[in-house]
Structure 1
Amino acid sequence: MLFPRRGGKEAQRLLLSLLLLAAWKAGSGQVHYSVPEEAKHGTFVGRIAQDLGLQLEELVPRLFRVASKGSGDLLEVNVQNGILFVNSRIDREELCGRSLECSIHLEVIVERPLQVFHVEVEVKDINDNPPVFREREQRLFISENRLLDSRFPVEGAADADIGTNALLTYILSPSDYFSLDVQSDELSKSLSLELRKSLDREKTPELHLFLTATDGGKPEMKGTVKLLITVLDVNDNAPLFAQTVYKVHLLETTANGTLVTTLNASDADEGVNGEIVFFFGSDVPLNIKKYFKIDSSSGKIWLIGQLDYEEIKSYEIRVRAVDKGSPPLSSHCKVLVKVLDVNDNAPELAVMSLSLTVREDSPLSTVIASISVSDHDSGVNGQVTCTLSPHVPFKLVSTFKNYYSLVLDSALDRESVANYELVVTARDGGSPSLSATASVSVEVADVNDNAPAFAQPEYTVFVKENNPPGCHIFTVSARDADAQENALVSYSLVERRVGERALSSYVSVHAESGKVYALQPLDHEELELLQFQVSARDAGVPPLGSNVTLQVFVLDENDNAPALLPPGAGGGGDAVSQPVARSVGAGHVVAKVRAVDADSGYNAWLSYELQPEAGSARSPFRVGLYTGEISTTRALDEADAPRQRLLVLVKDHGEPALVSTATVLLSLVDSGQPPKTLSRISVGDMDPQAALVDVNVYLIIAICAVSSLLVLTLLLYTALRCSAPPTEGACGPGKPTLVCSSGMGSWACSQQRQQRVCSGEVPPKTDLMAFSPSLPPCPVPEVKVEEQSIGGDHSRKPRQPNPDWRYSASLRAGMHSSVHLEEAGILRAGPGGPDQQWPTVSSATPEPEAGEVSPPVGAGVNSNSWTFKYGPGNPKQSGPEPKKQTQVSFLLRRKGEASQPRQ
């Protein structure tokens, strides 16, 4: 690209350049262009194809290309129009440095035929670099005593451009002390500062000047450097004190090592010329050096002795300050120290005894100790008063001048506070006052005024029966708040009678440890609860004591095998013969095994199993799992042996289970033989359906008579209840009330060995008690039997029987004696009273209308309630079908538990 020239001279130069270029091209075949540095991308340089005489349409076929020698891709040719343009940034200083000439050499190569052209592109300089100093700051150190017109060289700037763009001129910021001197030669310029005014470091320790360099380009560019001139010191100033006299007041009690004062001296010079050293004057007496010392570098004066106002009242100290210059300069000052009198003697305390003892029952105003005080000061400083630390049951009483007595002011309690640490304070009347303290320890002696105390008034202990003799069952512990022998507790039994024996034959207590031992094995069946008291006594005078109650519950273990009840079945396998008609159908009860267990709970819950005979065929009989009733499983035929021997196993639910056996001999007789009275192994249990086996007039008449008597009795009883006023025994209208089993009943639930049974309004007897789940325990149990015609109210239909009698978990936990169901129960009012036959249905029978036993939900330990619903007999048996169902409610109560009305 060719730059147009301004004015006539520029036009002439342009024309001359064109002529020279044409002549050069004609003679050498080269093309010359020029381009300024920093030109933008795409800047036009020249029409290289046209200037080389090449046709545009030939550039591509002839493989026109441009190669640069070490200049990269700074320039590029557009093969479409043959124009050479700037491809990337061109930096002349980077390309050629400070060389005056800077060109880019290109080789233009075309093929077919091969031609090589040389093109030179000159890079023109522009003013794109400012003058640059080597450092931002230049430091000069000049002594304050240098002479005028002295010169101090400074470093100039450099410009990366060439020609007029690098021609620099310098300017110095205005200053009263220095001017700029510039010396030029052919190669460079020399710069220096010339001193025009004398320097004084104390007035102007430092000067800040700015040197600016400007180049000759258009537009011009500048560079600046900061000149830091430090004026060096000369020792031309003596040290000076801030004040000529220092006055100090010291108390005579001022401690050794106290700072008296700090001397403040300064020197206008610097460095060693301004460093000051302090000394005591040569005329200072020795007693001053005995009490005071001076720090030579800091000028601090320290007290090194103990002042005494009565000995010396003031001190005068002369001090000299000298600098380290050459020669050294010095000055002097005076320090006046005045000693002040103070209250420097504290009171003194004297206690006759430092460890005192007083009984906790001592009367008020008891003198405990005597205290004396003194003070070496005089006047007000020697007047002393004594005080005692607050919140203590003591006080100080003044008996004479500076004498006091420590006396008891209020009642003491060693159990609350056993020791008092008293602080006696003596204070004089000085200003400020001084005080002294003394510690007095008062120990409170114990008096036996506290009885041993148990943590709780009663303890409950559970012990399994059959424990080994001498086993440890519990430990009682009582605490006595007193001390020493007054707190030494011993234990003993409170003797009493347990039945016919003394308490000490059952248990004993260790006098020191309080451990309670069982002296002999305990028997739950003999003694379920052993309640006694243990006494705790201390060793004081007089001794004090207290009692605690222990309730020892003897827990049952399975140590009693089931016992078979007479008549007819012994525990050793005694056999009893029983006739059975061959005409009876399936499900007929032919006999019953009854047993009781002296244990409680699961240990007394009995079950019955039929042991098959070895080598015998399948027996036509079975036994109820929980009732012991032996019934037929099918109709008997001629193939059955005339004599049947059954072995019944009676097993409890203990761990391990205990077993007893009973042998029953059954004789099968033909139906034509005379009927025999049904003899049972257990007396008083009779199944009403057994009477329906043989259909005969006598049996039907007997059943009708009994039914009529039962209905008449219920009607009379209902009428009497409706007409009689309400009593305490009525627990609620229309609810089932108490029904009691016979004295030989197999249901038992008790906590104590005494059993009670009630029936109607007769006195209680020793037997089982049963209760209804819908009524609370009543003082006067009653019997209520509800009969309902099957053809009447159909809304109250009997439920289907449960083929498996299942106990709830709470009922099992609460059962305390053996529980059985009987197929035939006898309600007895008591000795000599009327008997009433009551039908009972075995829970194990699978027939749909046999009956139902339902245990209550959540039965506890003290009671269990059951409801028995009795429906019609077995429809498979012959005989008239009953038309009524009976519901009986039973109440189980612990043995020995009295019937009390619920509040």
Structure 2
Amino acid sequence: MSCYLKLEAILENPLRIFNIELEIQDINDNAPQFRREAIHLDISEATPKGERFSLSNAVDPDVRINSVKTYSLSESDHFNIEVQTGRDGSKFAELILIKNLDREKQAIHNLILTAIDGGTPARSGTVSIIVHVLDTNDNAPTFDKHNYSLKIMENSPIGERFSLSNAVDADVGINSVNTYRLSESEHFNIEVQTGREGSKFADLILTTTLDREQQAVHNLILTAVDGGTPARSGTASVIVRVLDTNDNAPKFDQPTYNIKIMENSPIGSLVVHLNATDLDEGSNSDLIYSYSLYTSEKTQETFNLNPSTGEITVKGVLNYEDFRIYDMEVIATDKGTNSLSGQCTIKIMVEDMNDNHPQISIKSFQSPVSEDIKLDTVIAVVSVSDKDSGDNGVVDLHIPDHMPFKLRESSDNYYELVVSEPLDREKVPEYDITFTVTDRGSPPLSDNETMTLELLDVNDNVPQFPQSFYTIRVMENNAPGALLSSLTAFDPDLHENQYLVYFILEKEIANTSMSMLFSINPENGNLYALKTFDYEIEKEFLFHIEARDSGSPPLSSNVTVHIIIVDQNDNAPVIVSPWRAHGSVVEEKIPRSTDKGSLVAKVIALDVDSVHNSRITYQFLQVTDANLFSLDQYNGEIRTMRMFSYRDPRHQQLVVVAKDNGQPALSATVTIKLSTVETAVKAYSDMTEVPLEYDIFSDLNLYLVIGLGSVSFLLLITILVTIVLKCQKPKASKTAPPCRNSVISERNSTIADSTLVSNDAYWYSLFLKREQPDSSVVLKLAFEGGLFSHVLVSIFVSTATKRAGSKF
């Protein structure tokens, strides 16, 4: 480009005009300049290598050689330039990408573009090229850890926020973390927050109340999602551990304990084991038991509470009559901070034992009264009480039947005695009204109070007993002088006409007077036993007791008394088979070839006690070989359990004990020594299965015939003697009858020194000597004779079977 300055020059003389063109030649006095101070380029990090980007060219006012000649770029690993010449000859540069960009490594590239002219000296101008690397979604959000643990108190309020570690995304802008998501949870949610620089982070928000006791650990999945297309995500596990707070009070198994305990419970016995549970953990669930309230100091004196175990035990003596119900409240307190407690109510009811007699008190009594007293008139007020409870404390008040009076309940435990029938002094001049109060315990206890109602009249009434027949049971071996019963009669007459005297009407039983056996208190009718009774000798007595007043003439009445002697187990069994001398050992022989199941011996024991006490059972006390013999516990049969072998010893000793059924049981023993012998005779296990030899069968028949004949003979003799004694008239005894006690002692000494056979012989001789035997004695002799015969048959059969060498 040329620069000319056009001028006109005018000359006056002569006037002339000249056109002048003045060419101005350029010098390099201007440096190249860029229109902007900086060139900003936005290039995606996904741009491929070789991509070109146009740059603004520099301007230099100089021309020709002094104008922009070339461009240069500051050193860069990613960019280079290429100088291009325009159509007008101007120079410009293109920026070329020579290496892929990575925004996450370098987000901005600062370059310097220098434009240089061609002058001498050369001048230059620079401009900053700022390359902004545009992000692409090539990175997923990541957490610094895969698992995060978060501890939250279970009493945290709803809405409380808990910061979580935010995810990091190397990308920026919309490609960075855009939002967070939380796995489904009913207790937690997240809220996405935006930081100052636009970063996203999440707060964990509590949406519902936590309860460690229901769920102690919550496993959550936190997901970070960016905003790229397509979106990328990263996950992390969030473990929320709910820390326990002392928010659960201890709770007892039941809120109210109703406990019954007998008043005789020993000190230290367990009353109740309280059990409280606390759903918390650690020290929040460690419990201490204590009283919170009790009715009186006596509660703490009577019961002990173990603070660690919750056991309540008896500490003092229990007495229902002193204190019946103990009310207390027990609390269980945990050891946590701000400790909580639960409580239960305990009612300990002392159960009564029937250890207190009912009490009766006559509050008022009107006597004497006129025989024309009006009906329904109150003549007495009686109160009753019993310190026991329940049935033991429920009392019933009675007066004797068939009296013209009745009891009417006026108030609680108060009764009025009123006239229910017209009174006639001529019929009943005086009433002994006995108030009897009885509780309903087991056994029942009773008390009585007697009042005498007098009617003004004369003595025209006989004494009367409340009962016409008394049945009194007396345990044998009673102590002499023991009170049997109180037989009280009453006489409605007045003064000396009502004074009664009791005595026993004389009656002889087996030459023994009743006054030698029993005694009655003449004043109060108490009946006593004068001797010790033996059930095996005397089983009952029937006699009369008379009550006689002191009037003139005296009047009297009597009552029948039936004394029943109750058996005790005071007689040990007596072994009658196999027979043996006193204290000796029974020796038996048995073939060594005896079959299995063969009868070896049969033990028979008798007991003279009553049926219950005389039931006999048998068992081995000692046996040489327990696998060789068996014993039937009911019939006493000893049988072989197997055949003898060559290893078995020849001599076997069996000790059998026979026990009765009494309490305590009494017993007798027998020792049987068995010797096995070699014999050619075969032992048969069952006589009915294999026929016996003719001679053996004949022997057996002979013994059976002898036994049966003996039984028949003895029975016949017994019947004939009984008939003769019944037909014979009794003769008056000239001499005093022998004392029954001497007979008893004589029999006892005989039993102690003789065998059963000699005992029976003694009774038979006694029977023949007696001139006036009682029918009960005859029946006893007949029974014992039959029993003796049974024993003889057993002995005969046993002997026969042994001789025959067979099982019976």
Bin the TM-score by the shorter chain: 0.3 to 0.5
- TM-score when normalising by structure 2: 0.33
- TM-score when normalising by structure 1: 0.30
